[in-house]
């Protein structure tokens, strides 16, 4: 089964597919109220002049079954880039077949190829299945000593409007 699974980088012509995966993931995570992305935004962010992220697509028997969206960050203490996985999604009917792990392996190899010091991501605390998978199946370690902070919407607007 796994031999019929292939991975490739998304192209401009895949924007509709990528958006459909993003919508499925948002529904799965019950985040649809936050969903604002459009094809135009994705096209610009993924393939525009200032490319902000990349996407790989997973296919089983030539049918799309999942995706991963990632970008580079930077570690100041290590002086090297890192690979940051923003989203990983496999269609529910295709889970448990090793496809998610294959996408992670692909990205780990890409991180090494690009001389990244680390490969990291965040999982929702409520997604116990994903957390268990990351810990048991691939050896990822949770970094509980870090606290994620976020500015968005009106709070981001307010801080950005503050005079320097």
Strands (DSSP E) found in the chain: 5-9, 54-60, 63-75, 80-90, 118-121
How many angstroms separate the CA atoms of 85 and 72, rounded? 9
Cα 29 to Cα 22, 25, 120, 125: the distances in Å are 11, 6, 19, 11
To the nearest 5 percent, what fractions of the chain are helix, strand and coil? 40, 25, 35
**Which residue is catalytic, options 60, 84, 89, 134?**
134
Is 59 in the active site?
no
How many angstroms separate the CA atoms of 84 and 142, rounded? 14
Catalytic residues: 134
């Amino acid at each position: 089964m796994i031999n019929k699974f292939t991975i490739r980088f998304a192209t401009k012509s895949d924007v509709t597919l990528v958006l459909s995966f993003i919508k499925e993931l948002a529904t799965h995570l019950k985040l649809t109220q936050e969903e604002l992305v459009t094809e135009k935004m994705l096209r610009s962010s993924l393939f525009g002049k200032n490319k902000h992220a990349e996407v790989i697509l997973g296919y089983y028997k030539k049918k799309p079954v999942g995706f991963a969206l990632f970008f580079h960050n930077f570690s100041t203490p290590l002086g090297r880039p890192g690979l940051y996985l923003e989203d990983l999604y496999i269609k529910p009917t295709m889970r448990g077949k090793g496809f998610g792990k294959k996408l992670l392996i692909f990205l780990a190899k890409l991180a090494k190829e690009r001389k990244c010091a680390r490969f990291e991501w965040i999982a929702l605390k409520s997604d116990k299945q994903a957390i268990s998978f990351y810990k048991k199946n691939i050896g990822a370690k949770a970094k509980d000593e870090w606290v994620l902070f976020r500015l968005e919407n009106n709070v981001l607007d307010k801080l950005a409007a503050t005079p320097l």
